[in-house]
Amino acid sequence: MSDDVTTPDDGAPMVPPRTSRRRGLWVATGVAGLTGIVGLAALGGLAARHDRAGDPERVADNRATAPPNAGDDSPEDGRTSEDGAGHDPKGEDLSDAGPGRDDAHGREGPEWGARGGAEDHDDVREVPCDDDALVDAIELANRDHGGTLKLAEKCTYELDVKDRKIGGALPEIKQDVTIKGNGSTITRDAEDSFRIFRVVDGGALTLKDLTISGGNASEVTDPGGSVRSTPAGGGGKRYEGDGGALLVERGGKARLAQVTLAGNNAGGDGGAVANFGRVWLEDSRVVNNHARGDGGGVFNRGILKVEETKVDDNTAGGNGGGIANGSGGRRTGVGQVAGTVEITGGWAGKDTSPSTLSRNRAGRDGGGLFSGGGYVTVSFTAITGNTACENGGGIDAENTDLDVGKVIIAGNHAGHDGGGMDTGEGFATVADSVIVDNTANRFGGGIYNGQWLIKIEDGFLTRPQDEDDNAALTLRNTVIKGNTALNGGGIFNNKAKITLTKTHVTENTATDTAKLHRVAGGILNHEGHVTLDDESLISNNDPTNCANTVEDCFN
């Protein structure tokens, strides 16, 4: 797997994504009276189903629908051309730093997805139902500086011969190539292990109405059978085990619309997709994929946009059962390199088709979503029923700028800390959301925030001289309800800062029966700062609300 330690765009610093003009209609719906649950009108009332700690799995049953402009090959963002240069106040080039985002000075970043697409090519080549014909058509498109291919209707293209030079059955995508799937499937049907698509520097791939299955990217192994790391400087074996269905190298782009990625595997990272360039998943499904490393569904070190898409039932041996943004982590001491991720559902008035991260599993951290740095934005998304063997059942965000809004985080589980979320030592904002019915075996059933090392024998006493405030979490218009952990059933804050505005922490439970330290079902604050505004409420938690660790919280 790749150990590349540069940023996704050759050194350009990553910046948070800007929502598109279509998303400009989003408005904060707030908390409906703060008497029970968040009134997420934009989520079509899904949050209200949890008013009595209902079944979170129902959220995952909402099928995504095609976005209003699924036929367009570019989003509706206003943006400058890719070669428009910009610089931040430090003098660093931001011309390729973010996906269609206005920076602090009003400039816009480059576009999402592949340049061009079906509408850019006058001729559409019909590809008969034959795998050799598909190989020939892609080779011809590469020679002709791009093109559009239309597959035979509902055909299954079975790839059975691996080209040893490129490590796969299909030619590398080197030009601007669009494949209209026409309801067909491309699958690996061979004893050899190989991925399906590889987009190299300068290539741009658009896939529509297609299923990709059975891809298997293998790790490089030494004669003794041990897995060899990929050289950081590149070389012929770079990315060898990454991206079972699709690998997008730095400088490459891919847009997938109405595409299903199912049953793919990676010996490295990214069971279905490994992205080191730019990838846009739109109205698609990433299901039942597996990675031995990070990112059971998708691994990202570039720029990733996930829109109205289901990322469900994937598994990772490492971090990020559904999606992993970067790798490493504070617990391993491994350097963190991550990109930019935007995950969003669709919304038009009362109609919504949320994205989902559901029933994914990680062998380490981040059952649904893991981020080891960079920038992550999540909105109009249901994160439900995920499991992390260690931390962050729904989300694990380490040293990450995390922005969560209008999201349901429900029914997730962590073997250690942060059943719903582990926000680590970064900067996180959660607004207009519900965090319900999550569980952790140790601390923070709903949320764990701050340093991960805890000395239980210290008794969780507040010692101002030791306060670190290394992390900052802001909660606005959010309900944290019905979560369970050993201690800090709703929230566990360790040497960090939390600010609650118009937020309810209610009916959470701590199960620790020890008498040697304080136990709080609502919020347990250990050597940090927790501040509440007058419209926030911490109530009906068991055995106590805050165990006298939070000012203005009454037991």
Q: State whether residue 508 is helix, strand or coil.
A: coil
The Cα 340–Cα 338 span in angstroms is: 7
Domain residue extents for the chain: 1-18+77-294, 308-555
Confidence of residue 455 (pLDDT cuts 50, 70, 90): low
pTM exceeding 0.85 = no
The Cα 526–Cα 528 span in angstroms is: 6
The candidate with the shortest Cα–Cα distance to 492, out of 465, 456, 535, is 456
> What's the token pair of residue 317?
């041996």
pLDDT score recorded for residue 330: 52
Question: Looking at this protein, which amino acid is placed at residue 78?
Answer: G
Instruction: Give 290-343 pLDDT, tens digit per residue.
Output: 999 999 999 999 999 999 999 999 999 999 999 999 987 555 444 558 999 999
CB–CB of 436/462 below 8 Å? no
CB–CB of 201/172 below 8 Å? no
Instruction: Give 342-374 pLDDT, tens digit per residue.
Output: 999 987 666 778 999 999 999 999 999 999 999
Tokens 């919504």 map to which residue?
Answer: 352
pLDDT score recorded for residue 167: 73
Instruction: Give 64-87 pLDDT, tens digit per residue.
Output: 333 333 333 333 333 333 333 333
* CA–CA distances in Å: residue 516 to residues 110, 416, 452, 460: 56, 20, 21, 10
Residue 522 has pLDDT above 60, yes or no: yes
- The continuous run of DSSP H or E covering 143 comes out as helix 131-143
The Cα 94–Cα 15 span in angstroms is: 9
Residue 262 has pLDDT above 90, yes or no: yes
Strands 340-344 and 303-307: parallel
Provide the β-strand partners of residue 526.
494
pLDDT score recorded for residue 192: 87
CB–CB of 320/328 below 8 Å? no
- In sequence order, what are the residues at sequence separation of 6 or more whose Cβ sits closer than 8 angstroms to the Cβ of residue 329? 319, 336, 364, 365, 372, 398
Neighbour tally for 104: CB within 10 Å = 9
Confidence of residue 247 (pLDDT cuts 50, 70, 90): very high
- In sequence order, what are the residues at sequence separation of 6 or more whose Cβ sits closer than 8 angstroms to the Cβ of residue 537? 34, 503, 504, 505, 506
Confidence of residue 251 (pLDDT cuts 50, 70, 90): very high
**76-80, 168-172, 221-225: range with lowest mean pLDDT:** 76-80
Averaged pLDDT of the chain: 78
